[in-house]
Amino acid sequence: MPQARLRSERLDLVPLAEEHLPFLVELNSDPVALRYLYTRRLTAAETEARMRRWIAGAVDGLGLWVAYGSGDPIGLFMLATPDGPSRPGVAELGYRLPQRSWRQGFAKEGSRELVRHGFEDLGLDRIIAQTMAVNEASRATMASAGLTYARSFHEDVEEPLAGHEDGEVEYEITRGMWRSPV
Ligand SMILES: CC(C)(COP(=O)(O)OP(=O)(O)OC[C@H]1O[C@@H](n2cnc3c(N)ncnc32)[C@H](O)[C@@H]1OP(=O)(O)O)[C@@H](O)C(=O)NCCC(=O)NCCS
């Protein structure tokens, strides 16, 4: 199943393609936006290699999307197969916006559309999202998209980021929770 182009009230969500490389390079050049993701800026070559892996890894209607508002791209969204052991019916939500797009409700709006798409169009059973425990903005975005806290865990990494000692959190929403929110 090919990845669908999606619409929300203000956003046009376009499946990630090679034409989006300059936007990904912009995202990977801002240390503030990267502080919970990478210990340093990524080079254009590293970004291109990641983009190619993401595009090649898009399966079953899942993948990454670039969101547009009225002009330049406003953010990168993900609804993809989680890393690790195979978990049929489960997908992982993610999002990353440049600072110029922050605090305007775009991450919430794009995430809600991907959650709807995952359950209504793709027939998923569960959507999860993970972030560092200290990433308040990401945790608030998960909650605003209807996900609730599921668990905390620790990851062994070669280059720990600031806040690594507080661990990671996972949030989730099931199809039942989405249909009948409390
Ligand atoms: C996390 C991120 C996508 C949020 O994007 P955003 O467009 O600013 O978020 P929204 O405006 O849609 O806000 C969504 C919710 O989060 C809250 N929020 C956003 N930024 C926040 C912050 N810095 N601190 C606390 N809450 C925050 C909003 O108030 C809103 O909650 P509400 O619906 O209860 O009012 C953005 O900060 C970002 O790209 N950060 C860098 C990359 C990153 O950390 N990605 C996540 C990796 S797991």
Q: Residue 87 is part of which domain span?
A: 6-179
Query: Which atom of ligand 1 is nearest to 130's Cα?
Result: 48
Average model confidence (pLDDT) for the chain? Answer: 96
Task: For residue 61, tell me if it sits in a domain.
Answer: yes
Task: For residue 122, tell me if it sits in a domain.
Answer: yes
Query: Which atom of ligand 1 is nearest to 75's Cα?
Result: 39
- Whether 28 and 45 have beta carbons less than 8 Å apart is answered as no
Task: For residue 12, tell me if it sits in a domain.
Answer: yes
Task: For residue 1, tell me if it sits in a domain.
Answer: no
- Given a cut of 90, whether residue 31 has pLDDT beyond it is yes
pTM, to two decimals: 0.97
CA 146 to chain CA mean position, Å: 14
- How far is the first Cα of the chain from the last one, in angstroms, to the nearest whole number? 32
Query: Which atom of ligand 1 is nearest to 101's Cα?
Result: 7
Instruction: Return the CATH number at 42.
Output: 3.40.630.30
47: CA distance to ligand 1 center in Å?
23
The total number of structural domains in the chain stands at: 1
The answer to whether the CB of 97 is under 6 A from ligand 1 is: yes
What pLDDT, in 10s, does the model give residues 142-181?
999 999 999 999 988 888 888 999 999 999 999 999 999 8
170: CA distance to ligand 1 center in Å?
16
Neighbours of 7 (CB within 10 A): 10
Task: For residue 102, tell me if it sits in a domain.
Answer: yes
What pLDDT, in 10s, does the model give residues 70-123?
999 999 999 999 988 888 999 999 999 999 999 999 999 999 999 999 999 999
